[in-house]
Amino acid sequence: MKFDTPATTNPIDQMKVVGKPHDRIDGPYKTTGTAPYAYERHDVVPNQAYGYILGSAIATGRIKSIDTSAAAAAPGVVKVVTWQNAGAVKKPDAVTAKLLGGPEIEHYDQAIAIVVADSFEQARAAAKLIVVDYAREKGAYDLKAAKSSAIKPQPGYAGDPDTAVGDFAGAFAKAPVTLDATYTTPDQCHSPMEPHATIAHWDDGKLTVWTSNQMIQWAKRDLAEAFGIPQESVHVMSPYIGGGFGSKLWIRSDAIMAAVASRACGRPVRVTLTRPMMYNNTTHRPATIQRIRIGADKAGHITAIGHESWSGDLPGGQPETAANQTRLLYAGKNRMTATRLAVLNLPEGNAMRAPGEAPGLMALEIAMDEMAEKLGMDPVEFRIVNDTQVDPENPDKPFSHRDLIGCLRTGAERFGWDKRHAKPGATRDGRWLVGMGMAAAFRGNITMKSGARVGIDKKGVVTVATDMTDIGTGSYTIIAQTAAEMMGVDMDKVVVLLGDSSFPVSSGSGGQWGGNSSTAGVYAACVALRDRIAQKAGFNTAEVDFADGKVTSGNRGVKLSDIAGIEGLSAEDSIEFGDLGEKYAQATFGGHFAEVGVDTATGEVRVRRMGGAFAAGRILNPKSARSQVIGAMTMGTGAALMEDAVVDQRFGYFVNHDLAEYHVPVHADIPHQDVYFMPEVDDKSSPMKAKGVGELGICGVAAAVANAVYNACGVRIRDYPLTLDKLIGEMV
């Protein structure tokens, strides 16, 4: 099905099932421990061995020699595999560094060997017996020091790294009110509950993996490329995933090393990355330096806005696109953005929840707060004054649907923003200084081709099969809701099968494109199945109604189970998106609000309450959507107050590589969170008229907290995280 014209009225608009707060249908499996995760698949293939990866002890240089003899002779060891005896393994184009390193070393904890043994403990103990002699080389690990050498990167997924409209420099110089400030965000790390894990098995030249991966087709493609085999010879299964946040978009060393080890020893091999290894072996959100300049007239209208961002990555890597949202969020005739990339010898920088906008809004929305103060304007009103209904870089391109103003006004009203004192330090609660802050939320709307197969059997049970993944977001449930709505059956009559490369290729999970795209693919397959059912029943397809397990036309109705018969009926189709995304700017919007307390004696910051209003198209399941947003708010709070992957500048690795020292929020850190979804449908996004929400929720949160801290105590912090050492001695 081609989606190239705005959606008209369709069965989803009935909203009998879609749009309802259904419980997660996978919830009982997860809460009872019966959901099978990758490392736990003891049932899928016999005689599994255990692999333990040895990571590089240096960040850059080469291995002069490696002695595995003691490890190979250790009890229970089946095989020790390094680059020397692994056989042909190519680096997939989609990843930056080799997933099996050696003799050259590209980053700390790069996988250089795997020990295969009969038990995990034997493999781990033997790995400690491997002796490696390194030739360490000098590396670059400090973004600030490398900033002057940063270059303009090649155009990437976000388009040209530099943009310019009008005369930014001239307009900025003439503006009566200006801001020129620099902000920094640190390296941040994914911390999904489930570590990266894979079981790999070779059989007659064909590779099967049970893995934790967000994008099944990408994994299949990259494994085929790595081992030089046809994609048809790779089978990937990932039905349950315990979180990913972007770190599992592409295969990592667990998949490659498990497959390498299995091929070498002739047995299935299971591999999981230890928690400390995840931080340096996989990917992270790169640190940024961001310079923002804003000029405005005295009435608060932005006349010039410029955003420059610097980040670093390994050679061949990509930048953090932190200036993305500044191209689209606010009006202003004179504007510029610039992105620069430095070479750093740290682990690969790559996608982490809302790449680009999440760190970009950490800076931009503080800058907007600072400008509002300079202008003597309320921060909410300053943003409203600078709203735009067209792409500021291309005024002939309207937004498909944009309700930022509604989000800001509704969010402010629900939060009690009118009770905020504009003067910092004006509100006190005992030893706590109390402040409110806000920020706009923005995340672009991305759609991707997605397919599904839908069938109905003699019992009237509808089965949906697609390689879509559920990374904890509720994919099983919204796909079931879509099928139930389209086919006119109850939810308990729908079976959803996900995460298997033998199923039709879906959008996969990432970039907040998954929910909208995958359900649109199921919609397309259901349309095809409805046509088959109507034709078999002798009805005109345009004059049928599907409800209560029957198809009806006029006064005649037939049970779906009867039409399916013994053999059943099925149909397969994909949604393919046309050029509506080029004709219209498509994005999601929101307004974040936070109240914090700052301890006058210690500088400790406590978030007291949070709220937000969001416009993200049709909300397919309000319950799971709210869960996504409060989880994102929690993650954004961590980015504001505690998350900082500290780099050892001598040796080039993240020192705090576990949850004991890389701090993320816990329940005690998070207060009440109010979430409101604006009533919205976007007919230019998809037949579902939905968008995404899982990443929107993190965009702007950190800045709202930072602005609240300033309002509480008068200290403007431009360098994240907002730790107490930056507040003590500086408060009003």
CA torsion 250→253→258→263, rounded to 10°? 90
Total Cβ atoms within 10 A of residue 718: 17
Work out the burial of residue 13: count CB atoms within 10 Å of its CB; fewer than 13 is exposed, 13-18 middle, 19 or more buried.
middle
- The answer to whether 20 and 494 are in contact (CB under 8 A) is no
Give which of 166, 201, 617 is closest to 392, Cα–Cα. Answer: 166
Could you say which of 194, 576, 695, 730 is catalytic? 695
In angstroms, rounded to a whole number, what is the distance separating the alpha carbons of residues 639 and 703? Answer: 10
Give catalytic status of residue 695 as yes or no: yes
Spatial contact of 389 and 398, defined as CB atoms under 8 Å apart: yes
45 contacts: CB under 8 Å, gap ≥ 6: 199, 201, 208, 268
71 in Cβ contact with 129 (< 8 Å): yes
Label residue 569 left, alpha or beta by phi (over 0 means left) and psi (-120 to 50 means alpha): beta
Tokens of 545: 């109604």
For residue 566, the tally of other CB atoms under 10 A from its CB is 6
Beta bridge partners, 690, equal: 617, 618
Quick one: tokens of 53? 């990866």
Q: Which of 585, 581, 351, 320 is nearest to 449 (CA)?
A: 581
Nearest to 270 by CA among 255, 251, 250: 255
Helix (H, G, I), strand (E, B) or coil at 490: coil
Helix, strand, coil percent values for the chain (each to nearest 5) = 30, 30, 45
- 170-192 as b/e: b if 16+ CB within 10 A: ebbeebebbbebebbbbbbbbbb
Catalytic residue numbers, as ranges:
695
